[in-house]
Structure 1
Amino acid sequence: MNGVHEVRVGVIGGGQLARMMIPAAIELGVDLRVLAEQGGMSAQLAADRIGDYTDTATVLDFAREVDVVTFDHEHVPQDVLRALVDSGVQVHPGPDALRFAQDKLLMRERLSELGLPVPDWAKVETLGELDEFIASHNGVAVVKTPRGGYDGKGVRVVRGAAEVAEWFATIAEDGRPGALLVEELVEFRRELAQLVARRPSGEVAAWPVVETLQVGGVCSEVIAPAPRSAGKLADVAADVALTIAEGLGVTGVLAVELFETTDDRVLVNELAMRPHNSGHWSMDGSTTGQFEQHLRAVLDLPLGGTGSHGEWSVMVNVLGGPVEGALTDRYAEAMSGHPTVKVHNYGKAPRPGRKIGHVTATGDDLDTVVYEARAAAAFLQD
């Protein structure tokens, strides 16, 4: 990074996470290049290549032009990831870590081996095994497809195995039964998220634990730090996430979604090995935003401070957007009424339930900050 040769970071996936890495890359003098799935995606500003991320030849060709490869999502197949590593490409996070984000059964097994707190769970291959688990857990359980689910997809609360019979048929391969993950239905007080970053040389950094509000399986709001989290809860959440980052060998940003249960446990729900919706508040509310931190980490640069600018930050997702017109048509009202709120537009067409942007408010009075963020977001969606 001496001004003669800009470091090139390649991002696989052209969604909003890749898009939000662009400003951070510009500020760091990093040449960011994106392999997008198709034209017109959120990260089109840096998408100099369109191609299939499941095709090894396409990904290897893209990687030849960059120094480090990282990701907008965790869906790149393991054989493609291994081919990148075998060809000498720096991949962060690497395939050995990413497999635990790609397969929920592997993730539960590994976290259990590390002695980390998780819901009671089992691997089930038959309707009978699933019904036995349900019967032993008060007649109700949560069933998840091990691969491919996100934002509430591939997750179902059931009271009988017949409710997911089609899932067993869908995941069966070559006449062999596939396995589903079944977990206890956790009685939780609220959902939390802990973000940390880890660089290849081992340095780690953690942001404050946050509270997340989910609507229909999709994150709607984030409060940073989580109210009533100072002390033991914050220490436990950070320790869990840092243990996962080191135990799984994660490089880059790691998001750990947590349950705070009604009996005062903190349980690991899901993992994401990339910048995450629950960390968007950090772009405006922290000394170092998650996208800058992710680039620092994958380039093995010293990590930035994770302190907060104000006592509170609140991020509200813009879901769906306007029924008619573009998001920019709503700017005047949102910005004039709430000039301290920061608006982030993902460049995506409005669609019911779709994340097309977010707003962030920061300040020292939580009620005021919540009001400002919610009110500004309300102007931007119908």
Structure 2
Amino acid sequence: MDTRTGLPVVGMVGGGQLARMTHQAAISLGQSLRVLSVSPDDSAALVAADVRLGTHTDLAALREFAKGCEAVTFDHEHVPNEHIAALEAEGVKVFPGSAALVFAQDKGRMRERLAAMGAPVPRWQRVGTAAEIEAFAEAGGGGWPVVAKAVRGGYDGKGVWMLAGPDEAAELVATGTPLLVEERVPLRRELAALVARSPFGQVAAYPVVETVQRDGICVEVLAPAPGLSESRALEAQQLAIDLANALGVVGLLAVELFETDGGIVVNELAMRPHNSGHWTIEGARTSQFEQHLRAVLDYPMGATTLTAPAVVMANVLGGAPGGISIDERLHHLFATDPGARVHLYGKQVRPGRKIGHVTVLGDDMTSVRARAVRAAKWLQEGV
């Protein structure tokens, strides 16, 4: 509890853009998010008032960080699960808890649990040799390519490989990375269902969105997912709610989905604010960041309805060096599209790195999407 305000303190492990935007949401609740950051130059560390320097792999640093926090949460899944369990055993309220978060940390455990629940998942198998990968490819009737995933630690396209044949499989196995393989799902598009759950058990679901991926990175999110039938949207939302309840998630749960001719299939889980929910800052009555804070503090959930018929978020990626400054690009963008909402993360620019996002709202999805893509491209390239 903050003795100056009488309001609870939430600590977020990780100083990236998710913590930065969660801090912004905390301000309207009268709080200042406490952040555990590796560097004072991390996105959240640049803006938050209460920054502690340390690493998420250091249990002593986590213990010290948690002192005085009403709840501790995360902006990434890379905190060792045994450290989370140790904090819980010492009475720290950690959300999501170790028993839930393991299913976002370990893809093998996630696939096993979801399959046992009867949730729709691709055909998959843990593998340790190239021969096992080859047998998997042949057994399903689909043949090559197959998708290989690192069991732990992958994100934004890292830790995922599309294997075209036995030679590529042997090369990957030789790296020693613990792996599982999945069939390549014949998808129509990718969707995401975002829900929040409190310790009390209240659940709030956001409209299902379409996510557009390029080189393993989400580049656009369209809310609501265009052309998605009401029955399919309700199915996706109910699946996300069922998973949140069954896994005991507290906070945000993002369920990444494949839409296929036969239905929806679960791709990945994330138990934190998620790129597929950035549009909610302007596009929903309650942003995913405020909702996450409400959930971990056991506040009643906020409304999740859209604020406009069409909302599009486009990620701003780092471009090639040179050109006009980002400040000049903002001047030009706001002059040409004053309705575009820009969020920059305070990151050093590297080609392909997420450095911000743009959100555009309107009545027509086609025109709104065109504006968002144009704005993000201008901020990336300056042309």
Q: TM-score, normalised by structure 2?
A: 0.94
**Which residues in structure 2 correspond to 1:1-382 (within 5 Å)?**
4-44=5-45, 45-46=47-48, 48-137=51-140, 138-140=142-144, 141-171=146-176, 179-261=178-260, 263-321=261-319, 323-324=321-322, 326-382=325-381
Q: Distance in 1 between matches of 2:71 and 2:358?
A: 30
Q: Distance in 1 between matches of 2:110 and 2:166?
A: 23
Distance 1:290 1:83, change over 3 A: same
**Contact 1:139–1:159 (CA under 8 A) maintained in structure 2:** no
Distance 1:166 1:65, change over 3 A: farther
Matched letter for residue 159 of structure 1 = A
**Contact 1:221–1:315 (CA under 8 A) maintained in structure 2:** yes
Q: Distance in 2 between matches of 1:3 and 1:351?
A: 40
The more displaced of 78-87 and 195-204 is 78-87
**Contact 2:19–2:75 (CA under 8 A) maintained in structure 1:** yes
**Contact 1:321–1:327 (CA under 8 A) maintained in structure 2:** no
Give the SS at the match of 1:381: helix
Give the SS at the match of 1:275: coil
Give the SS at the match of 1:350: coil
Matched letter for residue 73 of structure 1 = H
Q: Distance in 2 between matches of 1:309 and 1:287?
A: 6
Q: Distance in 2 between matches of 1:355 and 1:185?
A: 27
The more displaced of 64-73 and 299-308 is 64-73
**Contact 2:252–2:273 (CA under 8 A) maintained in structure 1:** yes
Q: Distance in 1 between matches of 2:38 and 2:167?
A: 36
Residue by residue over 1:91-141, the C-alpha shift from the partner in whole angstroms, topping out at 9 and shown as x without a partner, is 000010110000000000000011100111111222221110011233211
Q: Distance in 1 between matches of 2:132 and 2:90?
A: 43
Give the SS at the match of 1:316: strand
Give the SS at the match of 2:380: coil
Shift of 1:375: 1.8
Residue by residue over 1:284-340, the C-alpha shift from the partner in whole angstroms, topping out at 9 and shown as x without a partner, is 000001000000001000000000011010000001146336432311111111111
Runs (5+) with no aligned partner, structure 2: none
Distance 1:4 1:38, change over 3 A: closer
Residue by residue over 1:192-243, the C-alpha shift from the partner in whole angstroms, topping out at 9 and shown as x without a partner, is 1110000011000100000011010000001000011131110111011111
Distance 1:35 1:327, change over 3 A: same
Distance 1:157 1:49, change over 3 A: same
**Contact 2:320–2:351 (CA under 8 A) maintained in structure 1:** no
* Structure 1 residue ranges, 4+ long, deviating more than 6 angstroms after superposition: none
Give the SS at the match of 1:31: coil
**Contact 2:314–2:373 (CA under 8 A) maintained in structure 1:** yes
Matched letter for residue 235 of structure 1 = L
Give the SS at the match of 2:311: strand
The more displaced of 161-170 and 304-313 is 161-170
Shift of 1:354: 0.4
**Contact 2:133–2:169 (CA under 8 A) maintained in structure 1:** no
Matched letter for residue 43 of structure 2 = S
Q: Distance in 1 between matches of 2:378 and 2:72?
A: 38
Q: Distance in 2 between matches of 1:164 and 1:154?
A: 14
Distance 1:296 1:326, change over 3 A: farther
Distance 1:294 1:326, change over 3 A: farther
Distance 1:277 1:233, change over 3 A: same
Residue by residue over 1:216-274, the C-alpha shift from the partner in whole angstroms, topping out at 9 and shown as x without a partner, is 0000001000011131110111011111111111110111100011x232000011100
Q: Distance in 2 between matches of 1:59 and 1:154?
A: 26
**Contact 1:326–1:350 (CA under 8 A) maintained in structure 2:** no
Give the SS at the match of 1:80: helix
Matched letter for residue 203 of structure 2 = V
Shift of 1:169: 4.3
Q: Distance in 2 between matches of 1:67 and 1:302?
A: 16
Q: Distance in 1 between matches of 2:183 and 2:377?
A: 36
Percent identity of equivalent pairs: 53
The more displaced of 155-164 and 33-42 is 155-164
Name the Cα RMSD after superposition: 1.6
Q: Distance in 1 between matches of 2:195 and 2:40?
A: 32
Runs (5+) with no aligned partner, structure 1: 173-178
The more displaced of 28-37 and 89-98 is 28-37
Q: Distance in 1 between matches of 2:344 and 2:327?
A: 8
